[in-house]
Amino acid sequence: MDLPENISNFIHARKANDISPNICDTCNSSCCKGPGFALFENIVYIYNLYTLNQLQRNNYSFETNLSLESFIYKYFDRVLFNGSLLAFFPKILSENNELISVPPWNYYQSRDYIYKRKSNYGCIFLENNWDSDNINNHCILHSNNLYSEITQKPIDCVFLMCSSTNSIIKPTNRESNLWISLLDYYFPNSLENFKQLFPSISD
Ligand code: SF4
Ligand code: SF4
């Protein structure tokens, strides 16, 4: 599925021109200590990789033979933005290789807390447990088409921007609001659609 042009333009407008697209290849992926969110459309691709046994990483084995419903429940936290847009945050691994789940209230405060935890092994979709010294730790969901298509890479991770020293540049409130509104417009009824598909985990 093509990425709607307005979404693609919005992402490009925020990315600084002087940052090389290959910069992620020489970075320790510190952004992945506090993941961005996926849309359900991203998860369909991720689950497809999973069913093909192509969702593989080091230091952690994904549970086998999960239904899509169980896969989502196990590996994502669901958050509703603006009472309308349903977003899915990949879970994070703790120092004991356990999945850390975040309750949907005070969400950003909780994320901040997790991000700052001394032992946070990062997003479940990082190739290795997060380690500040490892500059070869990459997202296993990367795709070359992520600026033109909806892919397995969570869309909010595509939107993320960092500085030339790999510090995350938080979007302004205005940018965040526009981002959520744009996604809600182009991917409407996300909550209703999800409830219809999975009534048992929709609450
Ligand atoms: S911090 Fe920036 S350069 Fe590093 S992986 Fe994240 S987006 Fe890429
Ligand atoms: S999905 Fe990939 S890019 Fe996004 S936080 Fe996880 S490892 Fe990082």
Condensed to tens digits (0 to 9), the pLDDT of residues 63-100 reads: 999 999 999 999 999 999 888 999 999 999 988 889 98
- Give the pLDDT of residue 145: 85
For position 104, what pLDDT does the model report? 63
What's the Rg (C-alpha) of the chain?
A: 16
pLDDT value at residue 88: 94
Report which of residues 186 and 111 the model is more confident about: 186
Residues with C-beta less than 6 Å from any ligand 1 atom: 23-24, 27, 29-31, 160, 162, 166
Of the candidates 148, 154, 156, 151, which has an alpha carbon nearest to the alpha carbon of residue 182?
156
Q: How far is the CA of 69 from the centre of ligand 1 (A)?
A: 30
pLDDT top residue among 14 and 122: 122
Q: Is 96 helix (H, G, I), strand (E, B) or coil?
A: coil
pLDDT over 80 at 201, yes or no: no
Cα(112)–Cα(154) distance, integer angstroms? 19
Cα–Cα distances (Å) from 105 to 3, 78, 102, 163, in that order, read: 30, 11, 8, 29
Average confidence (pLDDT) over 149-154: 95
**Distance of alpha carbon 5 from alpha carbon 10, whole angstroms:** 8
Q: Angle 173-186/5-14 helices, nearest 10 degrees?
A: 160
Average confidence (pLDDT) over 192-203? 84
Q: How far is the CA of 96 from the centre of ligand 2 (A)?
A: 20
147/164 Cα distance (integer angstroms): 20
Name the pLDDT band for 17 (thresholds 50, 70, 90).
low
- Determine the distance separating the centroid of ligand 2 and the alpha carbon of 157, expressed in angstroms: 6
**Quick one: which atom of ligand 2 is closest to the CA of 157?**
4
Ligand nearest, relative to CA of residue 29: 1
For ligand 1, the distance from its centroid to the CA atom of residue 26, given in whole angstroms, is 9
**Quick check: 181 pLDDT over 80?**
yes
Distance from Cα 133 to the centre of ligand 2, integer Å: 18
pLDDT of res. 3: 93
Least confident of 46-50, 102-106, 195-199: 102-106
pTM of the predicted protein model: 0.92
Ligand 1 atom at minimum distance from 19 CA: 3
Q: Which atom of ligand 1 is nearest to the CA of 166?
A: 1
Indicate the domain borders of the chain. 5-187
Instruction: Name the residue of 62, 120, 123 whose CB sits within 8 Å of the most ligand 2 atoms, as the mutation to test its pocket.
Output: 123
